[in-house]
Amino acid sequence: MDIKAFFEEYTNNEKVTFRSVIDEGNELLLEILKFNKKGVFEEYQDVFLFIQLWLYCKFGINQKLWSLSKDSTNKFIKRKAVWKQIYKYVGLKEDISNYCGNYNKIEKVIKQLSIFGISKQKAQKAYEKVVSEPQ
C-alpha cells in the first residue's frame, strides 16, 4: 500500500502537519524517559509513519509505506474496526469516518464523536461499552 491510499483509508483526511510529527516525537521521548522498551518501539514507528504522512500532505510525496512503520500502520488498520463499533453504538453509520485515532484515550473518543453531534455523556457510554468492556 502506498501512503496516499493509507491516508485516504485510515485518516480523517485532514492534512498532517509537522506539529503532528513533533507530538509523536514527544510521545517517543516520554517512553524513553520511562525506560519502556515496548513503548519506545511503538512510538518510534509512529514517528516514521507521521513523517511519511507529513511528507505526503506537505509535498505530495507518495511512496510505498515504509517498513520502519509496519506495526504502526497495522495498528491504525486494526483500530478502524473498533471505531466502526463505536459509531454504530451511538447510532451513526459505521463508515461515517476513516478516523483511526487511539480509542483507548476517552478524550479522543469524545472529541471525535462531538464532530457528529454526539454528546459527551453518550460518547463516554460508547467508550465504556465498546472499549472498556470488550465483547
- The model's pLDDT over 84-128, given as tens digits with 9 standing for 90+, comes to 999 999 999 999 999 999 999 999 999 999 999 999 999 999 999
- Cα separation, 6 vs 39, in Å, equals 23
Mean residue pLDDT of the chain comes to 94
Dihedral over Cα of 24, 27, 31, 32: its sign: positive
Residue type, 60: G
Q: Considering Cα of 102, then 43, then 21, then 33, what sign does the dihedral take?
A: positive
Which pLDDT band, with edges at 50, 70 and 90, does 133 fall under?
A: confident
Q: With bands split at pLDDT 50, 70 and 90, how would you rate the model's confidence at 12? A: confident
- Give the C-alpha separation, 7 to 120, whole Å: 28
Phi, psi of 11 (to 5 degrees): -130, 170
pLDDT value of residue 134: 61
**What's the pLDDT at 61?**
97
> Which pLDDT score is estimated for 16?
94
pLDDT at 135 over 60: no
Give dist(CA 82, CA 7) in Å, integer.
18
User: Does pTM top 0.95 for this prediction?
Assistant: no
CA atoms within 13 Å, Cβ hemisphere of 56: 23
